Amino acid sequence: MNNDTVKIKTNGQKINGFSSTEIGDDHLYTGLQTPMKTDAFRLSDEEKKTRIAILFEEIMDIMGLDLTDDSLKGTPERVAKMYIDEIFSGLNPANKPKVALFDNKYQYNQMLVEKNIIFYSNCEHHFVPIIGKAHVAYISSGKVIGLSKLNRIVQYYAKRPQVQERLTNQIAEELKSILDTEDIAVIIDAKHLCVSSRGIKDDTSATVTTYYGGRFDSAEKITELHNYINN
């Protein structure tokens, strides 16, 4: 799938013969940008948490849960806080990591690889977890980035409703922009709970997506990168 894939808004109707439910089950990748409303930040984070708590309480009530029980009565507020401050905090550009670049004074001109970056995301089709690890690499064009910032960039884009293909490309495009180089590689290996805990209920499969840009887009560099990752 490529970055030019058309964004689809179904509202329940058929698209190319498939319903919106079927499209979600097939994990269609609909574009590089996370689908956001133009007024997504009209409400403050605190206002969003208040609204989500009210709505989630209604969901729990409809499901028949007793919200007067000591264990449940604080759940709507906890869920709202978790959504806004934690697992979907990457939706807010204000939470984007601040990145400083440094001169490549060591003249290190080989690939730098940060591997096994553990992340938790959520499938945008069912809002259940995606659990995986990312490997990112770049070749300096004259500037370098602090190692922890590579992790923070992965986490920022993971903390939103996601599709793995989009997550892979968003990380790559961000690093290309920051480092001013095409020489970027991103590999993501993840387990989707929407596959293992529902639907097909396959608990053994994993999904791997890759991005190889610039000098990484060659058999020699791909082999070298995988040797680093697998050792």
Q: Which residues are catalytic?
A: 123-126, 164, 192, 194
Q: Which amino acid is at 153?
A: I
DSSP per-residue codes, 51-68: HHHHHHHHHHHHTT--TT
First to last CA, the chain: 29
Q: Who contacts 139 (Cβ-Cβ below 8 Å, separation ≥6)?
A: 109, 110, 111, 112, 181, 183, 214, 215, 216
Measured from the Cβ of residue 78, the count of other Cβ atoms closer than 10 Å reads 11
Pair of tokens at residue 129: 């977890």
**Residues 181, 201: Cα–Cα separation, whole Å:** 41
Instruction: State the maximum Cα–Cα separation within the chain, in Å, rounded to a whole number.
Output: 64
**Alpha helices in the chain, H assignment, sequence order:** 20-25, 45-62, 75-82, 147-158, 164-179, 193-196, 219-230
